[in-house]
Structure 1
Amino acid sequence: MTAELVRGQNHPLPDTRLEIRVSAGHPVVACVTCSGEQGTVPEEWVAHPGVPAVPGVEVPGRAEQSPRFAVDLAAVPAEVQQVNVLLALPEGTGGPDRFGATAAPFLAVSGQDGSEVASFTITGLDSETALVAVELYRRQGAWKVRAVGQGYAGGLAQLLSDQGMAGAAGTATAIQQAAVPRTHRAAPARLTTAADAAGAVSGPDQPSPADGALTGGLTGPQAAATGTPVQQTPTPDAAPQMPAGPINYAHPRRQSAPPPPAPAAAPAEPGRPAAPVAGDASGWSMEERLYNQVWGMFEDLARAVAAYRSAVEFAESRMDKELDHVLSDPRSRIGSSGDAARAAARAKCEQLTDQARQALDRDLAQLTAESEVVEPALPPAFARWDNPCWHAYRVPMEVPMALRLGDLHLPESPELRIPCLVRLPLERGLWVDSGRSSSDAALAVDEAQLRRLATDSAVALAARLLAVYPPGEFTVHAIDPAGTAAASLAPLVDSGALTGPPAAGAQGVSAVLAKLTERVDLVTMAVRGGAADALPPDLDTGEQLLIVNDFPHGFDDRAVNQLRYLADEGPAVGVHLLMVADREDATAYGPVLDPLWRSLLRVTPVPDDHLADPWVRHAWTYEPLTVPPGSDVLRQVLTRVTEARRSWRR
């Protein structure tokens, strides 16, 4: 299982021979520096396009969009304690001038057999032109990889100087000179960029605003749903520029060889964009193409709205400055000249705002047309419950790439919904928030009704997970201490999708938690000891999901500790939590439950704007997937899942 790292996280390396693949979407200069115990980097321990090999490391001899690093840690000199993987933007190529104006670079570390060990998406970049992507370091005789993602606005010279290299500026110049002659220029942008919106604001006779900051810190639709809202920090009087190159729809984990070409779009009429096509993205299958296309739509909408908001902010800031100038001059503060100046400033602001909105509307129309084509073509794992594909549902033979948890939208375009997809298998559990204080929408719902909606949402999510896994590869358990969720759990119970009746009372809760805790212990020891064949023959090695209702009622200290253990250690060995809880109800436990909440992905039974994108950190409104009123689709799907599981066991 691949470890998707975040900044500061490390992961052991099983092999000494590695390949590190980079996906940047534009040419980057690949370098490696090696440092000793003191942390300094001698000049002879640097691999770059001019000197593409040092002992144990090889880098490309030119700037590439997808460079590869070949590393043999066994051949690295014994005095080397750390190997730093660096990326830099080539100078003088007409390409992007900062990482913040491009798609987030992605790195994948693969072992000797080609299996992916760890990956890292470097988000949160702005004016940086060079960065330390990851580092490989020795620890107690073994090698580990750590996600770093530290950028430098001063480029390679500043980075190498920070690593203690003498003559850093000269080395940086030599690296750029070796890489630049072989770089390629970027292609035109796909959608209206923030530069277009900023141009509309400044006008042909006005200076263009300076570049702003596009900050991010998460990982796409899957990491956008981390439940941690991040505030965007705007730059005064500045509208952020967008990438000069096209938006890259390819998922970062694409194969080494180019995938089959995407379907060709219908020829466009002169002056109009090409008609959208479902699966119009690169990928090895239609499922991967659709996943990448949804990813691209999510990014396009985030950046288009960011351009509009920056343009509006710039127009308003400019109007404020003009009004301040009028008010600061006593001669124009009063009288007809002052009134005329204030009216002109406001009219100009409205005009520029309208122009920015027109640019946004063009992009929204294009994305809406694409959504209308993509939505009906989605497979069940990506589709809403009202999609006809669920009526023709058949139990799959393979696990899909991702699962749809809900929809995302922004205030500027509430009717344009982007599927909220998370990668499978799940990397952490889910928490359905049943608290009324979580949002204004929740406050407007009766407490009992909100709890029912939360348990209904949890059951619908569990049903989707059961439906997208092959027979026998996913099992659902339920804990309902007081029996308050009997009505919501009825579809799972009546269809036989649960392994047994929901556990009730202290004894039932203790039995289920003990069983799953023992499974996590056994599988963890087997994996770490390389003895998977020693597991008991009757142990269910498929993915496990535990629905916990009405937490923390009915849980003693031992049960709470077991839940925390399952939340922390379970996902690595296929045991996941799906908790229905109000966080305020657990305040009596104090900070002991904080690690539990932080380890779960928060979703809500009513619309709530608690999610953020990894590029400009908008607050996205999450809407849960609901079964249409009166529809029998949930029962039909669960019945087919149960029948397929019975046939598989025979």
Structure 2
Amino acid sequence: MTAELVRGQNHPLPQSRLEIRVTSERPVIAGATLNDQDGRMREEGWIAHPAQPQLPGLEVSRQAAAEHRLAVDLDALPESVHCVNVLLALPAGAGGPVRFGELAPPFVTVTGLDGAGVANCTLTGLDAESAVLALELYRRQGGWKVRAVGQGYAGGLSAMLADQGLGRAQELAATINEAVAAGRDRSVAPPPPRTDGERSREAAVGAAGSVAASAPDSGAGVAGAGDAPISYRHPGRATTPPSGPPPSVPSSPGTSAAPGRTPAAASATPGSPGSPGSPEPGPHVPVAGDANGWSMDERLYNQIWDMFEDLARTVAAYRSAVDFAESRMEQELDKVLSDPRTRVGPAADAARGEARTKQARLVEQAREVLDRDLGQLSAEAEVVEPALPPAYARWDNPVWHGYRPPLETPMAMRLGDLALPESAGLRIPMLVRLPLERGLWIDSGRSGTSGSSSPGPAAASVVSSDELRRLAAETATAVAARLAAVHPAGDFTLHVIDPAGSASAALAPLVESGVLPEPPAAGAAGVSTVLEQLTRRVDLVQMAVRSRATDALPADLDTAEQLLVVHDFPHGFDDRAVTQLRYLADEGPSVGVHLMMVADLEDARAYGPVLSPLWRALLRITPVPDDHLADPWVGHHWTYEPPLVPPGSQVLTQVLGQVASERARRTHEAEG
């Protein structure tokens, strides 16, 4: 829950890597100063501002804007820094407001990199001030806290910098305002320089969105008469491969493009594809890690998200162009049929032929652009896949043969693959953030709650019920094994409930390797014991967190991340057990207890609507390919492919053996 602070209030920071988001009615300058234990800046280089946006552990915006996102890595700050002050100022000479009293109060919030709010404050009470010290992050007893400040300065930016201890405050304030006025290093428009290959790639993605509008006799285009053509270009792609420190702000999937920027506007830029006199663009050379991020894992994570959105948008553009071509042909045919004089005869046949020819030409043009985009993405996938770390890689990736238990938990894990019917074999890794924000439901039945109106490409109807249950159990084992493998030894504990022992064959790798510390719980008594243990853990940790007394937890409490795998639900569950399971699904993820269920929805219908909230709380995945997952951007139904181990492969046994061996070694060292 996000803490709402007023002036003077503070709140502990639970993590070191943060994002500070600023929202204002009008564009403001955002900056940050580094201060020592006396609250003073030691030198002019201790401030990040539009003309110098990066410092170790700190990055601010390069321009004035109504919304800012400042990146902070507290662990990367110099040891002599004890305080980080976030500053806001109205640009000088911009023709806008000259004091904050003319505007709605600015709003500042501190979040984690996943967007979860930590604390926020509204900077009220400002009047004649044109600069304000919004908040401060400061060290306290080995940790970091945030305090809402809201101190305004009627003397503006120079007065605020002077109060921070800077001798040349007026000169630096002038430098900052000049940088903003000149639009130096704008991050959105005009765009930074592109290489020929990158321009070709962006034009290919964007061209599909304007095929209908630019084709001969295509009428008003998809957007309607007088509208600019719809742009499906991905707005957040990296422009050049990262070159190392200082790190840049991670790009968030779905970042908005510059307002009003369209492919037509882009094509008018000198030297862009399609402009007069521009050179023929060369092929784009893909690079693994070609995205923004603080580490290679984060760059790969962002790159995979970018590829996913690129594929979503280029397919959306293709489908839109095809729909337009069909609609245009129907309109022209209706026009022919509506006039009795032209309904029959050679003229009617010629009109029909011409309408179908136009439709075929538009579809062919759209397909050419789609094929070009798919070729670029396929080339990128061929480079990215071999470079993926184990957490992101398929089980058939050779990286698993050199697997060693990690020293820290990665930011995400591969949960399968995603594809579209038009993607011609191209599969995008489906990554989920760690720790899991919601539980998983592996659907072992034929029904489920798919959002798709059409069956998947490998519909469950061609697989027997027994085979579906076997595949579901194997999928659960593969996912559980991957979770165990990507966590450091001792940081992950697995529990399994298998009331009737029907999944014993699929669970054998977990049991035989020792990664599953206790045999699967069987029967009603086993179900009750495991659920009581995990429910108690959730209760104790929640109380300790609320009372800020985590050091008072019982010594025998396992504080590692927990995963409970439930097979063949609801067999072996009574009403009390079902209630406990719902409680774990709702409350467990926030305190490190996660749920994975292997169940057939039809089997659970006997419990009535009481289980509906449980199914809605879980992410449904399937043991066979199915097109039940929809993206929030354009609404495609993606075909999900489960992360099964290749038949006959021993990779799962080898990896689990190393996980168990490392855990035993660390346990022995701790006891010795």
> Normalized against structure 1, the TM-score is what?
0.70
Say yes or no: does 1:477 pair with 2:495.
Answer: yes
Q: Distance in 2 between matches of 1:270 and 1:137?
A: 52
* Corresponding residue of 1:242: 232
* Corresponding residue of 1:622: 640
**Distance apart, 1:109 and its partner CA:** 3.8
Q: Distance in 2 between matches of 1:283 and 1:336?
A: 64
Letter in 1 for 2:643: L
Instruction: Say if 1:255 and 1:237 are closer, same or farther in 2 by CA, change over 3 A.
Output: same
Q: Distance in 2 between matches of 1:270 and 1:207?
A: 26
Report % sequence identity: 57
Out of 116, 119, 123, the residue aligned to residue 119 of structure 1 is 116
The 5 A counterparts of 1:219-238 are none
Out of 586, 594, 601, the residue aligned to residue 604 of structure 2 is 586
Q: Distance in 2 between matches of 1:255 and 1:574?
A: 33
Q: Distance in 2 between matches of 1:548 and 1:644?
A: 26
SS in 2 for 1:271: coil
**Distance apart, 1:287 and its partner CA:** 1.3
Q: Distance in 1 between matches of 2:342 and 2:209?
A: 29
* Corresponding residue of 1:196: 207
Letter in 1 for 2:512: D
Q: Distance in 2 between matches of 1:204 and 1:550?
A: 56
Structure 2 contact 210–229 (Cα < 8 Å) conserved: no
Out of 284, 288, 300, the residue aligned to residue 310 of structure 2 is 300
SS in 2 for 1:333: coil
Q: Distance in 2 between matches of 1:397 and 1:495?
A: 20
Moved more, 470-479 or 608-617: 608-617
Instruction: Say if 1:504 and 1:364 are closer, same or farther in 2 by CA, change over 3 A.
Output: same
**Distance apart, 1:16 and its partner CA:** 4.9
Q: Distance in 2 between matches of 1:284 and 1:460?
A: 29
Instruction: Say if 1:424 and 1:249 are closer, same or farther in 2 by CA, change over 3 A.
Output: farther
When Rg is computed on C-alpha atoms for both structures, the one with the higher figure is 2
Say yes or no: does 1:434 pair with 2:444.
Answer: yes
**Distance apart, 1:206 and its partner CA:** 3.8
**Distance apart, 1:536 and its partner CA:** 0.8
**Distance apart, 1:638 and its partner CA:** 0.8
SS in 2 for 1:357: helix
The 5 A counterparts of 1:13-32 are 13=4, 16=10, 21-22=20-21, 31-32=23-24
SS in 1 for 2:421: coil
* Corresponding residue of 1:88: none
Q: Distance in 2 between matches of 1:592 and 1:630?
A: 41
Q: Residues 524-545 of structure 1, C-alpha deviation per residue, up to 9 Å, x if partnerless?
A: 1111110010001111100000
Q: Residues 72-126 of structure 1, C-alpha deviation per residue, up to 9 Å, x if partnerless?
A: 9xxxxxxxxx9775xxxxxxxxxxxxxxxxxxxxxx9427xxx669538xxxxxx
Structure 1 contact 198–209 (Cα < 8 Å) conserved: no
Say yes or no: does 1:554 pair with 2:572.
Answer: yes
Q: Residues 434-460 of structure 1, C-alpha deviation per residue, up to 9 Å, x if partnerless?
A: 012245511111001100100110011
**Distance apart, 1:240 and its partner CA:** 2.7
* Corresponding residue of 1:172: none
Instruction: Say if 1:271 and 1:429 are closer, same or farther in 2 by CA, change over 3 A.
Output: same
Q: Distance in 2 between matches of 1:524 and 1:587?
A: 31
Letter in 2 for 1:517: T
Say yes or no: does 1:325 pair with 2:327.
Answer: no
Instruction: Say if 1:304 and 1:560 are closer, same or farther in 2 by CA, change over 3 A.
Output: same
**Distance apart, 1:67 and its partner CA:** 4.5
* Corresponding residue of 1:505: 523
Q: Distance in 2 between matches of 1:309 and 1:199?
A: 12
SS in 2 for 1:501: coil
Q: Distance in 1 between matches of 2:611 and 2:3?
A: 28
Structure 1 contact 278–290 (Cα < 8 Å) conserved: yes
Q: Distance in 2 between matches of 1:117 and 1:604?
A: 26
* Corresponding residue of 1:99: none
**Distance apart, 1:585 and its partner CA:** 0.9
* Corresponding residue of 1:40: none
* Corresponding residue of 1:63: 65
Structure 1 contact 195–239 (Cα < 8 Å) conserved: no
Q: Residues 600-646 of structure 1, C-alpha deviation per residue, up to 9 Å, x if partnerless?
A: 11110000111122321211100001111111111111111111000
Instruction: Say if 1:571 and 1:246 are closer, same or farther in 2 by CA, change over 3 A.
Output: closer
* Corresponding residue of 2:429: 419
**Distance apart, 1:203 and its partner CA:** 4.0
Instruction: Say if 1:12 and 1:405 are closer, same or farther in 2 by CA, change over 3 A.
Output: same
Instruction: Say if 1:617 and 1:490 are closer, same or farther in 2 by CA, change over 3 A.
Output: same
* Corresponding residue of 2:465: 447
Q: Residues 409-468 of structure 1, C-alpha deviation per residue, up to 9 Å, x if partnerless?
A: 000014000000001111111110001224551111100110010011001100000000
Q: Distance in 2 between matches of 1:199 and 1:238?
A: 9
Structure 2 contact 23–67 (Cα < 8 Å) conserved: no
Q: Distance in 2 between matches of 1:249 and 1:587?
A: 51
Structure 2 contact 442–622 (Cα < 8 Å) conserved: yes
Instruction: Say if 1:136 and 1:256 are closer, same or farther in 2 by CA, change over 3 A.
Output: farther
Structure 1 contact 386–627 (Cα < 8 Å) conserved: yes
Say yes or no: does 1:409 pair with 2:392.
Answer: no
The 5 A counterparts of 1:324-403 are 324-403=334-413
Q: Distance in 1 between matches of 2:503 and 2:551?
A: 39
Structure 2 contact 27–67 (Cα < 8 Å) conserved: no
Give the unaligned 5+ runs of structure 1. Answer: 1-9, 23-29, 33-45, 53-57, 73-81, 86-107, 121-133, 139-178, 214-234, 262-268
SS in 2 for 1:500: coil
Give the unaligned 5+ runs of structure 2. Answer: 32-48, 50-59, 72-84, 88-103, 125-179, 252-278, 449-454
* Corresponding residue of 1:39: none
Structure 2 contact 420–639 (Cα < 8 Å) conserved: yes
Say yes or no: does 1:289 pair with 2:304.
Answer: no
* Corresponding residue of 2:169: none
Say yes or no: does 1:185 pair with 2:214.
Answer: no
Moved more, 607-616 or 410-419: 607-616
Instruction: Say if 1:64 and 1:278 are closer, same or farther in 2 by CA, change over 3 A.
Output: farther
SS in 2 for 1:502: coil
Instruction: Say if 1:199 and 1:350 are closer, same or farther in 2 by CA, change over 3 A.
Output: same
SS in 2 for 1:391: helix
Q: Distance in 1 between matches of 2:595 and 2:430?
A: 19
Q: Distance in 1 between matches of 2:621 and 2:223?
A: 32
Structure 1 contact 426–571 (Cα < 8 Å) conserved: yes
Instruction: Say if 1:255 and 1:512 are closer, same or farther in 2 by CA, change over 3 A.
Output: farther
* Corresponding residue of 2:141: none
Say yes or no: does 1:494 pair with 2:537.
Answer: no
Q: Residues 164-184 of structure 1, C-alpha deviation per residue, up to 9 Å, x if partnerless?
A: xxxxxxxxxxxxxxx998464
**Distance apart, 1:584 and its partner CA:** 1.2
Structure 1 contact 194–239 (Cα < 8 Å) conserved: no
Instruction: Say if 1:612 and 1:561 are closer, same or farther in 2 by CA, change over 3 A.
Output: same
Letter in 1 for 2:20: R
Letter in 2 for 1:431: W
Structure 1 contact 481–506 (Cα < 8 Å) conserved: yes
Q: Residues 472-514 of structure 1, C-alpha deviation per residue, up to 9 Å, x if partnerless?
A: 0000000011111111111111111112011111111100000
Taking only aligned residues, the RMSD between alpha carbons, in angstroms, comes to 3.8
**Distance apart, 1:338 and its partner CA:** 0.5
Q: Which has the higher contact order (CA 8 A, sep 6+)?
A: 1
**Distance apart, 1:292 and its partner CA:** 1.4
Out of 518, 540, 544, the residue aligned to residue 562 of structure 2 is 544
Q: Distance in 1 between matches of 2:335 and 2:481?
A: 62
Q: Distance in 1 between matches of 2:105 and 2:616?
A: 32
Structure 1 contact 239–314 (Cα < 8 Å) conserved: no
